[in-house]
Amino acid sequence: MTLGLSRKWWFVAAAIAVAAAFALYLMGRNPICTCGEIKLWVGEVHGPDNSQHIADWYTPSHIIHGFIFYGLLWWWMRRRPLGLRFSLAVAIEAGWEVLENSPIIINRYREATAAFGYSGDSIINSMADIGWMALGFLVARRIGLWPTVMIALGFELFTLWTIRDNLTLNVVMLLWPIDAIREWQAAL
- What pLDDT, in 10s, does the model give residues 128-148? 999 999 999 999 999 999 999
pLDDT of residue 46: 84
pLDDT for 146 equals: 97
Report the SS3 class of residue 4. Answer: coil
User: How many residues comprise the chain?
Assistant: 188
Determine the pLDDT at residue 1. 67
For residue 116, the model assigns a pLDDT of 67
pLDDT digits (tens, 9 = 90+) for 26-52: 999 999 999 999 999 999 988 889 999
- By C-alpha distance, which of 16, 59, 51, 7 is closest to 30? 51
Low-confidence residues of the chain, pLDDT below 70?
A: 1, 114, 116
- What is the gyration radius of the CA atoms in the chain, in angstroms? 17
